[in-house]
Amino acid sequence: MGKPTGFMEFDRRENPAQAPLERLGHWNEFHPLLPLEERRTQAARCMECGVPFCQSGAVLGGMVSGCPLHNLVPEWNDLLYQGALSHALERLRKTNNFPEFTGRVCPALCEAACTCGLHGDPVTVRQNELGIIEEAWREGLIAPQPPATRTGKKVAVVGSGPAGLAVADQLNHRGHLVTVFERADRPGGLLMYGIPNMKLEKPIVERTVARMEAEGVTFRLNTDVGRDLEAGELRKTFDAVVLCVGAKKPRDLNVPGREAQGVSFAVDYLTRATQSLLAGKPSAEAKGLDVVIVGGGDTGNDCVGTALRQGARSVTQLEMMPCPPERRAENNPWPQWPRVKKTDYGQEEAAAKQGADPRIFTTTVQELRADQNGRLTEIVTVRLEPKADKKTGRVQMVPVPGTEAVLPCGLLLIAAGFLGPEDYVAQAFGLERDPRSNLKTDGAYATATPGLYAAGDARRGQSLVVWAIREGRECAREVDQYLMGYTNL
């Protein structure tokens, strides 16, 4: 340990954030990095505890605590403090292919399990991770490293989100010839089009893809496997195929008036916003409109921040569940994931602009109303309350009669989650679905068809970027074992 008393001497200091009203004037990231010396001081706060819960990725209380990638947090924190940047980088990338992504968009499960957080503030693990990788890029420590030899085996990866990129990165470094198929015009999947620019600037994604291309990975864009390219042809051409197509079938609203104009699924809306930004013409889709977002979570929050930047007149976010407590409850002790109220950047911006938190809890949409031209003008909401089903005992949120209210609404964004991958992918490859409608595998990553695998949200269901990377890495190991008869991944 470089600084045994660091956690007692130094206070937690995060990367500064630009003021909410100021950052609403642009689409760029707004957390400038601390200077390297201050980053080293923050790394000195790591206790290198004997049982590092931060890297455990263990299920506690029904939720994961600690990093699913099992990042070697105490090791690279110590190396960062010692000033051994290249060694810290090596230990960081040993478990995480893309710390430049997780350092920006991960909810930091590691910090929730940090021992320092038991009686004080946790270590800035995620920001230390980001500091290491960005300083390494700045100093030229990240350079293409193509494999010395090739196996001659060819692998197709369908989908270029974080799971697909992780599979491709691992298998390419192993020496296999990897081709990534992406139906969009740019690689990156949700990293490119599902996460707004202010959370993850797109040159960061492009930089990583360029590094992978220089190492030998081939990207085929505007190619929708199952439509533009037959599944059978893909299987004949490649020795193995990995489906990392995400869980892009959105959950809809089944309410009167759903056909009104002015209703959009959240990810479609975020995609249009990013596409217009990349084209040099930022979208004004929400300008002057009362925007209502159905659903919480990261996607709902991203819609809040996006709508405000587009000039929305007002933004309201409806959440079905009750408002979480401000602090841990007694039945939610450390190191479990804290089930507490989280106010994210979009909600901070809405509160600064509108004077109040945009969220309304235990509320959902009951009806949509449109004008004579079919354009959405307002919605009817209803309050919800938890009730246990008499047969199953399962608690459900049910409407409370007499609590209806009317909200003006010119743009309704549905961020209510996803129902697994789109149907045509499973049909094209003749795959079964599991009870949650995800692609069915054998418990690991192999499907019932030899040489055909699935990973990421398509197999696991809607989840975090860090889980997608873990799935991609583990799937790559299984594919390598299938192709070579052994694996050193």
CATH fold for the domain made of 154-248+419-484? FAD/NAD(P)-binding domain (3.50.50)
Domain regions of the chain by residue span: 6-138, 154-248+419-484, 263-414
pLDDT digits over 74-90, tens only?
999 999 999 999 999 99
Residues of the chain with pLDDT under 70: 1
Residue 387: helix, strand or coil by DSSP? strand
Residue 249's DSSP bridge partners are none
Q: What is the Cα–Cα distance from 450 to 485, expressed in whole angstroms? A: 14
Strands, sheet with 240-243, edge to edge from the N-terminal-most edge strand: 218-220, 177-181, 154-158, 240-243, 452-454
Tokens of 190: 């949700």
Provide the pLDDT for residue 59.
Answer: 92
Provide the pLDDT for residue 296.
Answer: 86
- DSSP result, 33-53: PPPHHHHHHHHTT----SS-G
Q: What is the Cα–Cα distance from 408 to 315, expressed in whole angstroms? A: 10
User: In this structure, are residues 481 and 448 in contact, taking their beta carbons and an 8 Å threshold?
Assistant: no
Q: Which amino acid is residue 253, in one-letter code?
A: L
DSSP summary character for residue 121: P
Query: In percent, how much of the chain has pLDDT > 70?
Result: 100
Tokens of 440: 């069915």
Cα 285 from chain centroid (whole Å): 24
CATH of domain 263-414: 3.50.50.60
* Range list of β-strands (E), 177-239: 177-181, 218-220
User: In this structure, are residues 145 and 93 in contact, taking their beta carbons and an 8 Å threshold?
Assistant: no
* Range list of β-strands (E), 133-233: 154-158, 177-181, 218-220
Tokens of 446: 């192999």
User: In this structure, are residues 361 and 379 in contact, taking their beta carbons and an 8 Å threshold?
Assistant: no
**Helices vs. strands in the chain: H and E counts, helices first:** 18, 16
Q: In this structure, which CATH number among 3.30.70.100, 1.20.1060.10, 3.40.50.970, 1.10.1060.10 belongs to the domain 6-138? A: 1.10.1060.10
Tokens of 101: 């992504």
Which residue, among 181, 300, 272, 284, has the nearest Cα to 233 in the 3D structure?
181
Judge if 154-248+419-484 and 263-414 fold alike in CATH terms.
Answer: yes
- Residue 238, sorted as left (phi over 0), alpha (psi -120 to 50) or beta, turns out to be beta
**If you compute the radius of gyration of the chain from its CA atoms, what whole number of angstroms results?**
23
Rounded-to-5 percentages of helix, strand, coil across the chain: 35, 15, 45
Predicted structure pTM score: 0.96
Provide the pLDDT for residue 1.
Answer: 66
User: In this structure, are residues 427 and 257 in contact, taking their beta carbons and an 8 Å threshold?
Assistant: no
Q: What is the Cα–Cα distance from 489 to 471, expressed in whole angstroms? A: 13
CA distances, 445 to each of 57, 86, 345, 457, 476 (Å): 19, 33, 35, 12, 9
